[in-house]
Structure 1
Amino acid sequence: MTLIIILIILALIFEFINGFHDTANAIAMSVSTKALTPRFAVVYAGILNFVGAISFTAVAKSIGGKIADPLQIENGVVVVIAALIAAIFWNLFTWYFGIPSSSSHTLIGSVAGAVIFGSGIGFINWEGFTDIIKALIISPFLAFAVGFIIMHILKVVFKNANPQRTNRGFRTFQILAAGLAAFAHGGNDGQKTMGIVVFALVAGGFQSTLDVPFWVQVICATAIGLGTMVGGWRIIKTVGGKIFKIQPIHGFAADLSSFTVMQTATLLGVPVSTTHVSSSSVLGVGSAKRFRGVNWGVATRIITTWVITLPISALLAGIVVTILNLFL
């Protein structure tokens, strides 16, 4: 029971960090264009993160059962504790340096690494794990395409409109789109921690199914909502201003693109990286506006971090679980 309590505390810490680490996914555009004040934006996003996280459970079941079978994992609670410690460390490291890395990659990589080093590579459900990796790879390309298409349509529709009047009008629409993006972020990201808590509960013999208890939904949704309200301003600056110069019409297009991809994934029970989706939507919108206007140097740095996150997280979790198994 003591280990389960420790695990739940770590899960809530990770979910809280996930909230402020990924705040930029939902509100960077609206803050950058001054459609929302920073203080209001984080509260607005935090509330909608909570609502989104408590509304769905399909992604949680995918995380809880697709990477590995919790019933077959020896010392499954210790494995999940190790994964959470590694994920928390990497999230804090990338947050400190303002790098919009993926909390989803971090968590999934950490769980896989902890299972491999803690129980053995044969305990990974490679079919389910591969399905998750495919979704993580495909979703940013899809978000880029959706962002590019939406922005291109808006350019055609408003090509003869007064730019100042158009942007004033889109500030209102941008507020709505930012709220939808925050809801979708909570709906997908909020469930991932729920999933590994359920994984640990099943592995520890506290329940026999992958159904998410309501109390797990509430505490995880609350943690990610509160974390979002704290805000991750270093990453907001990167996503909201360093990729290309954002105007309200661009922010609307990017947030609407992010919502479309993330919410579709959530309804299908597919975990995706909200950081990947949000940043790729911005890149797609920026490319539709003017390809050369995108700061591809920043984009390259972001993509590099995405690539290295999975293996680094897996290795960190492997080291942690090896150490824990010496003492527990």
Structure 2
Amino acid sequence: MHLGTSFWILAVLVFVFTYVNGFHDGCNVVATLIASRAMKPQPALAWAAAVELLSPFAVLLIGSSVSDTIKKLVGEAFYTAPGARQAALAFITAGILAAILWNVTTWRFGIPASSSHALIGGVAGAGMAAFGTGAISWGYFWGKVVLMIFLTPAVSFAAGFLILKLLLWLTRSASVGINRFFTYAQWVNMTFLAFNHSFNDSQKSIGIVMILLGICGGDVSVIPVWSIACAAACLACGIAFGGFKIIKTVGTGIYKVQPIHSFASQLTAGAVILSASLLGAPVSASQIVSSSIMGVGSAERYRAVHWNVAGKILISWFITIPIAGALGAVLYLVFHVIF
């Protein structure tokens, strides 16, 4: 089916967001690996990019519950209604651009805010401006987005705390050589974390592509393989170039991590993201990784955690959806005139 120029222009915009997402959020998966000096920055980013290039295709085997959540965030009946195409194109353009603008702003200041929440906020804000509050699937919004904003960081903090306590107890009589084990074991954990990050984040872009298909009259019953490939490539390219400001904030700004801390943090974050993906929740890698580091640091030396930095990160978690939502609504009013 011929989808038209508008579809392909906006599809490119979706994958620009995906690239920024990889650049902004993807670097979290290597932050502690680099900070603990287990691997130099460029090889770490290259390895993570290779993993993130392959893992999105797992949706063909495991399923795409996260992209289904994104697709259903705004009711399909609103953006596919007869005569709604112009408003629908303005809505989706505004939502994507709001997310990109907020991501670039937080990257500029080295704040590990959530690209996922920026996208959700932008789409929800633009959707309400375009179709009213009744267009938002509030069950998905509160249950799989807002609840997870509070739940996943709490789980990550607690799990990181307990895992490090366990590791410290198990290695209490170990020689200095145990550090070598944790140095190399991080490579496995980072692969696990990168796989789960890309599996979750790629589906957010795929979900927006499915909304675009619905707007433009395409087939929404099956996820196009080309959309998976494009999301994978853009995430991989984004992480390959790395957001070093955020790597510095996450890797060294919260706690001075050693190999054992990085190992515990990566294991925690990877497990939490995987669990959320299986539940269909579009979660934030930034939140989860940062929280796991706070938990790990607290398990060893509570006072050594840089709580002032943690506080700034926490504020960004709370303001991302409202700001991106407001920005999406304002941009919709502008693009509605254009379209």
Question: Which TM-score band (shorter chain)?
Answer: over 0.9
1: CA distance, partners of 2:223 / 2:292 = 31
- Give per-residue Cα distances to partners, 1:260-279, cap 9 Å, x unaligned: 00011112222111111111
Which residue of structure 1 aligns with residue 337 of structure 2?
326
Residue 17 of structure 2 is aligned to residue 6 of structure 1? no
- Residue 256 of structure 1, CA deviation: 0.3
Does the residue aligned with 1:5 lie in a helix, a strand or coil? helix
Q: 1:71 aligns with which of 55, 73, 77?
A: 77
Within 5 Å, which residues of 2 pair with 1:10-21? 10-21=13-24
Within 5 Å, which residues of 2 pair with 1:206-245? 206-209=218-221, 211-245=222-256
User: For structure 2, which runs of at least 5 residues remain unmatched after alignment?
Assistant: none
TM-score, normalised by the number of residues in structure 1:
0.96
Residue 143 of structure 2 is aligned to residue 140 of structure 1? no
2: CA distance, partners of 1:77 / 1:193 = 16
Which residue of structure 2 aligns with residue 130 of structure 1?
142
Residue 162 of structure 2 is aligned to residue 149 of structure 1? yes
Q: 1:102 aligns with which of 99, 104, 114?
A: 114
Which residue of structure 2 aligns with residue 247 of structure 1?
258
Which residue of structure 2 aligns with residue 294 of structure 1?
305
Does the residue aligned with 1:23 lie in a helix, a strand or coil? coil
2: CA distance, partners of 1:228 / 1:276 = 17
- Give per-residue Cα distances to partners, 1:42-67, cap 9 Å, x unaligned: 111111112222212221111111x1
- Residue 37 of structure 1, CA deviation: 1.1
Within 5 Å, which residues of 2 pair with 1:129-208? 129-132=141-144, 133-162=146-175, 164-208=176-220
2: CA distance, partners of 1:270 / 1:121 = 21
- Residue 199 of structure 1, CA deviation: 1.3
- Residue 129 of structure 1, CA deviation: 1.3
Which residue of structure 2 aligns with residue 43 of structure 1?
46
2: CA distance, partners of 1:224 / 1:272 = 16
- Give per-residue Cα distances to partners, 1:175-215, cap 9 Å, x unaligned: 11111111111011111111111112113221243x32111
2: CA distance, partners of 1:12 / 1:53 = 14
1: CA distance, partners of 2:308 / 2:41 = 26
Identity of aligned residues (%): 37
Any conservation in 2 of the 1:117–1:318 contact (CA below 8 Å)?
yes
Any conservation in 1 of the 2:65–2:278 contact (CA below 8 Å)?
yes
2: CA distance, partners of 1:13 / 1:197 = 12
1: CA distance, partners of 2:143 / 2:207 = 16
2: CA distance, partners of 1:88 / 1:313 = 9
